[in-house]
Structure 1
Protein backbone atom coordinates (compact mmCIF):
# COMPACT_ATOMS: atom_id res chain seq x y z
CA UNK A 1 0.00 0.00 0.00
CA UNK A 2 1.45 3.33 -1.04
CA UNK A 3 0.89 6.51 0.90
CA UNK A 4 0.72 9.72 -1.08
CA UNK A 5 2.24 12.74 0.63
CA UNK A 6 2.03 16.01 -1.29
CA UNK A 7 5.36 17.73 -1.96
CA UNK A 8 4.45 20.94 -0.16
CA UNK A 9 3.94 19.04 3.12
CA UNK A 10 7.29 17.99 4.60
CA UNK A 11 7.37 16.62 8.10
CA UNK A 12 4.49 18.58 9.60
CA UNK A 13 5.50 20.17 12.92
CA UNK A 14 9.15 19.17 12.52
CA UNK A 15 9.39 21.38 9.45
CA UNK A 16 8.82 24.55 11.47
CA UNK A 17 11.68 27.01 11.24
CA UNK A 18 13.21 29.20 13.91
CA UNK A 19 14.93 32.39 12.76
CA UNK A 20 17.98 33.36 14.77
CA UNK A 21 19.40 36.42 13.09
CA UNK A 22 20.68 35.39 9.64
CA UNK A 23 20.26 31.68 10.47
CA UNK A 24 17.07 29.82 9.72
CA UNK A 25 17.09 26.62 11.81
CA UNK A 26 14.45 23.91 11.53
CA UNK A 27 13.20 21.98 14.53
CA UNK A 28 15.04 18.84 13.43
CA UNK A 29 18.34 20.75 13.19
CA UNK A 30 17.70 22.32 16.59
CA UNK A 31 16.99 18.87 18.07
CA UNK A 32 20.24 17.44 16.61
CA UNK A 33 22.22 20.39 17.97
CA UNK A 34 20.62 19.95 21.40
CA UNK A 35 21.59 16.27 21.50
CA UNK A 36 25.17 17.09 20.48
CA UNK A 37 25.51 19.84 23.08
CA UNK A 38 24.01 17.60 25.78
CA UNK A 39 26.46 14.76 25.01
CA UNK A 40 29.47 17.07 24.88
CA UNK A 41 28.41 18.90 28.07
CA UNK A 42 28.07 15.62 29.97
CA UNK A 43 31.52 14.51 28.74
CA UNK A 44 33.02 17.92 29.61
CA UNK A 45 31.46 17.75 33.08
CA UNK A 46 32.87 14.24 33.63
CA UNK A 47 36.34 15.32 32.49
CA UNK A 48 36.40 18.43 34.70
CA UNK A 49 35.20 16.43 37.72
CA UNK A 50 38.05 13.98 37.09
CA UNK A 51 40.50 16.83 37.62
CA UNK A 52 41.22 17.92 34.02
CA UNK A 53 41.56 21.62 33.20
CA UNK A 54 38.45 23.30 31.73
CA UNK A 55 40.13 24.40 28.47
CA UNK A 56 41.73 20.99 27.87
CA UNK A 57 38.36 19.32 28.48
CA UNK A 58 36.70 21.78 26.06
CA UNK A 59 39.32 21.03 23.40
CA UNK A 60 38.76 17.27 23.83
CA UNK A 61 34.97 17.67 23.59
CA UNK A 62 34.99 20.15 20.64
CA UNK A 63 35.15 17.47 17.88
CA UNK A 64 31.86 15.99 19.12
CA UNK A 65 30.14 19.37 18.88
CA UNK A 66 31.63 19.95 15.42
CA UNK A 67 30.37 16.56 14.20
CA UNK A 68 26.84 17.30 15.41
CA UNK A 69 26.92 20.76 13.80
CA UNK A 70 28.04 19.16 10.53
CA UNK A 71 25.22 16.60 10.70
CA UNK A 72 22.63 19.27 11.53
CA UNK A 73 23.53 21.68 8.73
CA UNK A 74 24.56 19.23 5.99
CA UNK A 75 22.85 19.89 2.65
CA UNK A 76 24.04 18.43 -0.62
CA UNK A 77 21.79 18.96 -3.64
CA UNK A 78 18.78 19.46 -1.35
CA UNK A 79 19.42 16.24 0.59
CA UNK A 80 20.22 16.02 4.27
CA UNK A 81 22.92 13.70 5.54
CA UNK A 82 21.01 10.41 5.92
CA UNK A 83 19.21 10.55 2.55
CA UNK A 84 22.49 11.57 0.91
CA UNK A 85 24.33 8.57 2.41
CA UNK A 86 21.45 6.28 1.40
CA UNK A 87 21.63 7.63 -2.15
CA UNK A 88 25.39 7.04 -2.28
CA UNK A 89 24.97 3.47 -1.01
CA UNK A 90 22.26 2.73 -3.54
CA UNK A 91 24.20 4.26 -6.41
CA UNK A 92 27.63 2.76 -5.80
CA UNK A 93 26.94 -0.51 -3.94
CA UNK A 94 23.45 -1.89 -4.49
CA UNK A 95 22.68 -0.92 -8.10
CA UNK A 96 24.68 -3.02 -10.49
CA UNK A 97 25.01 -1.80 -14.02
CA UNK A 98 23.25 -4.08 -16.45
CA UNK A 99 24.91 -4.74 -19.77
CA UNK A 100 22.87 -6.19 -22.55
CA UNK A 101 24.28 -7.87 -25.66
CA UNK A 102 27.82 -8.06 -24.41
CA UNK A 103 30.00 -10.57 -26.26
CA UNK A 104 27.36 -11.09 -28.93
CA UNK A 105 28.01 -10.83 -32.63
CA UNK A 106 26.24 -7.83 -34.11
CA UNK A 107 23.73 -8.62 -36.83
CA UNK A 108 24.46 -7.04 -40.19
CA UNK A 109 21.20 -5.70 -41.67
CA UNK A 110 22.42 -6.27 -45.24
CA UNK A 111 23.01 -9.97 -44.55
CA UNK A 112 19.53 -10.24 -43.04
CA UNK A 113 18.00 -8.70 -46.17
CA UNK A 114 19.95 -11.10 -48.40
CA UNK A 115 18.66 -14.11 -46.46
CA UNK A 116 15.07 -12.84 -46.55
CA UNK A 117 15.27 -12.40 -50.30
CA UNK A 118 16.70 -15.90 -50.74
CA UNK A 119 13.92 -17.41 -48.63
CA UNK A 120 11.21 -15.52 -50.50
CA UNK A 121 12.27 -16.62 -53.99
CA UNK A 122 13.92 -20.02 -54.16
CA UNK A 123 16.61 -20.30 -56.79
CA UNK A 124 15.71 -22.23 -59.90
CA UNK A 125 18.32 -24.71 -60.90
CA UNK A 126 18.49 -25.61 -64.52
CA UNK A 127 19.96 -29.01 -65.12
CA UNK A 128 21.67 -29.74 -68.34
CA UNK A 129 21.30 -33.19 -69.75
CA UNK A 130 24.66 -34.76 -70.15
CA UNK A 131 25.21 -37.32 -72.81
CA UNK A 132 25.37 -40.78 -71.41
CA UNK A 133 28.84 -42.21 -71.51
CA UNK A 134 29.29 -45.79 -70.46
CA UNK A 135 32.70 -47.21 -70.06
CA UNK A 136 32.82 -50.58 -71.77
CA UNK A 137 35.53 -51.92 -69.50
CA UNK A 138 33.44 -51.30 -66.36
CA UNK A 139 30.43 -52.93 -67.98
CA UNK A 140 32.43 -56.10 -68.65
CA UNK A 141 33.57 -56.25 -65.02
CA UNK A 142 29.98 -55.91 -63.85
CA UNK A 143 28.82 -58.65 -66.21
CA UNK A 144 31.56 -60.92 -64.97
CA UNK A 145 30.49 -60.39 -61.38
CA UNK A 146 26.89 -61.26 -62.12
CA UNK A 147 27.74 -64.56 -63.77
Structure 2
Protein backbone atom coordinates (compact mmCIF):
# COMPACT_ATOMS: atom_id res chain seq x y z
CA UNK A 1 0.00 0.00 0.00
CA UNK A 2 1.38 3.44 -0.95
CA UNK A 3 1.31 6.24 1.59
CA UNK A 4 -0.13 9.50 0.54
CA UNK A 5 2.05 12.65 0.42
CA UNK A 6 -0.23 14.40 2.94
CA UNK A 7 0.37 11.61 5.47
CA UNK A 8 4.15 11.87 5.01
CA UNK A 9 3.99 15.63 5.44
CA UNK A 10 1.93 15.33 8.62
CA UNK A 11 4.39 12.79 10.03
CA UNK A 12 7.32 15.09 9.28
CA UNK A 13 5.62 18.06 10.94
CA UNK A 14 4.85 15.97 14.04
CA UNK A 15 8.47 14.79 14.24
CA UNK A 16 9.77 18.38 14.03
CA UNK A 17 7.34 19.51 16.71
CA UNK A 18 8.53 16.73 18.99
CA UNK A 19 12.19 17.63 18.42
CA UNK A 20 11.64 21.33 19.06
CA UNK A 21 9.75 20.58 22.29
CA UNK A 22 12.73 18.54 23.53
CA UNK A 23 15.33 21.20 22.79
CA UNK A 24 15.17 22.58 26.33
CA UNK A 25 15.59 26.08 27.65
CA UNK A 26 17.78 28.74 26.10
CA UNK A 27 21.38 28.74 27.36
CA UNK A 28 22.16 31.37 29.97
CA UNK A 29 24.06 34.57 29.30
CA UNK A 30 27.40 34.81 31.06
CA UNK A 31 27.66 38.60 30.67
CA UNK A 32 27.30 41.40 28.14
CA UNK A 33 30.17 43.73 27.21
CA UNK A 34 29.51 47.17 25.72
CA UNK A 35 32.62 48.89 24.39
CA UNK A 36 32.91 52.46 23.15
CA UNK A 37 35.89 54.58 22.24
CA UNK A 38 37.60 57.29 20.26
CA UNK A 39 38.95 55.11 17.45
CA UNK A 40 37.17 53.65 14.40
CA UNK A 41 35.53 50.32 15.15
CA UNK A 42 35.55 50.84 18.91
CA UNK A 43 31.77 50.57 19.35
CA UNK A 44 30.84 46.97 20.10
CA UNK A 45 28.31 44.89 21.99
CA UNK A 46 29.16 41.27 22.86
CA UNK A 47 26.74 38.89 24.57
CA UNK A 48 28.64 35.87 25.89
CA UNK A 49 26.47 32.75 26.06
CA UNK A 50 27.14 29.75 28.31
CA UNK A 51 26.82 27.28 25.42
CA UNK A 52 30.07 28.50 23.83
CA UNK A 53 28.63 31.24 21.71
CA UNK A 54 28.61 34.99 21.39
CA UNK A 55 26.31 37.50 19.78
CA UNK A 56 28.19 40.34 18.10
CA UNK A 57 26.34 43.67 17.93
CA UNK A 58 22.99 41.91 18.49
CA UNK A 59 23.61 39.68 15.48
CA UNK A 60 23.24 35.92 15.17
CA UNK A 61 25.08 33.54 17.49
CA UNK A 62 28.67 32.70 16.58
CA UNK A 63 31.01 30.17 18.16
CA UNK A 64 33.93 31.02 20.43
CA UNK A 65 36.84 28.70 21.22
CA UNK A 66 36.87 26.39 24.22
CA UNK A 67 39.66 28.47 25.77
CA UNK A 68 37.59 31.65 25.33
CA UNK A 69 34.55 29.96 26.90
CA UNK A 70 36.64 28.86 29.89
CA UNK A 71 37.96 32.42 30.28
CA UNK A 72 34.42 33.86 29.99
CA UNK A 73 33.15 31.46 32.68
CA UNK A 74 36.06 32.36 34.98
CA UNK A 75 35.34 36.06 34.46
CA UNK A 76 31.65 35.51 35.19
CA UNK A 77 32.61 33.95 38.53
CA UNK A 78 34.83 36.95 39.29
CA UNK A 79 32.01 39.32 38.37
CA UNK A 80 29.26 37.50 40.27
CA UNK A 81 31.20 35.72 43.02
CA UNK A 82 31.76 31.97 43.32
CA UNK A 83 29.34 31.24 46.14
CA UNK A 84 26.43 32.94 47.88
CA UNK A 85 28.68 34.57 50.49
CA UNK A 86 31.34 35.64 47.95
CA UNK A 87 30.85 39.23 46.75
CA UNK A 88 31.86 39.63 43.11
CA UNK A 89 33.09 42.70 41.28
CA UNK A 90 29.66 43.35 39.73
CA UNK A 91 27.96 43.31 43.10
CA UNK A 92 30.36 46.05 44.17
CA UNK A 93 29.23 48.07 41.12
CA UNK A 94 32.80 49.19 40.38
CA UNK A 95 32.85 52.26 38.14
CA UNK A 96 36.43 53.41 37.56
CA UNK A 97 37.01 56.85 36.02
CA UNK A 98 39.06 56.95 32.83
CA UNK A 99 42.65 58.16 32.79
CA UNK A 100 43.78 61.28 30.95
CA UNK A 101 44.08 59.74 27.48
CA UNK A 102 41.47 57.04 27.01
CA UNK A 103 40.95 55.06 23.83
CA UNK A 104 38.44 52.37 24.88
CA UNK A 105 35.78 52.24 27.60
CA UNK A 106 33.91 49.15 28.79
CA UNK A 107 30.61 48.51 30.57
CA UNK A 108 30.04 44.89 31.59
CA UNK A 109 26.63 43.70 32.79
CA UNK A 110 26.31 40.35 34.53
CA UNK A 111 23.62 38.69 36.61
CA UNK A 112 24.58 40.52 39.81
CA UNK A 113 25.37 44.01 38.55
CA UNK A 114 27.46 46.20 36.28
CA UNK A 115 31.07 47.34 36.20
CA UNK A 116 32.61 50.12 34.11
CA UNK A 117 36.23 50.95 33.32
CA UNK A 118 38.48 52.33 30.59
CA UNK A 119 41.76 51.14 29.18
CA UNK A 120 43.54 53.83 31.23
CA UNK A 121 41.56 53.52 34.49
CA UNK A 122 43.80 53.40 37.54
CA UNK A 123 43.64 50.53 40.04
CA UNK A 124 41.92 48.04 37.74
CA UNK A 125 41.49 44.50 39.03
CA UNK A 126 43.28 41.93 36.86
CA UNK A 127 39.86 40.68 35.72
CA UNK A 128 39.26 43.95 33.85
CA UNK A 129 42.43 43.50 31.78
CA UNK A 130 41.33 39.94 30.97
CA UNK A 131 37.85 41.20 30.01
CA UNK A 132 39.37 43.74 27.61
CA UNK A 133 41.62 41.09 26.03
CA UNK A 134 38.78 38.57 25.69
CA UNK A 135 36.59 41.26 24.12
CA UNK A 136 39.26 42.12 21.54
CA UNK A 137 40.07 38.48 20.76
CA UNK A 138 36.42 37.46 20.29
CA UNK A 139 35.61 40.60 18.28
CA UNK A 140 38.44 39.78 15.87
CA UNK A 141 38.22 35.99 15.74
CA UNK A 142 34.49 35.22 16.06
CA UNK A 143 32.90 38.45 14.86
CA UNK A 144 35.42 39.18 12.10
CA UNK A 145 35.90 42.78 13.23
CA UNK A 146 39.09 44.82 13.07
CA UNK A 147 39.10 45.53 16.84
TM (normalized to structure 1)? 0.20
Write 1 or 2 for the structure with the bigger share of helix: 1
Write 1 or 2 for the structure with the bigger share of strand: 2
TM (normalized to structure 2)? 0.20
Larger radius of gyration: 1
Higher relative contact order (CA 8 A, sep 6+): 2
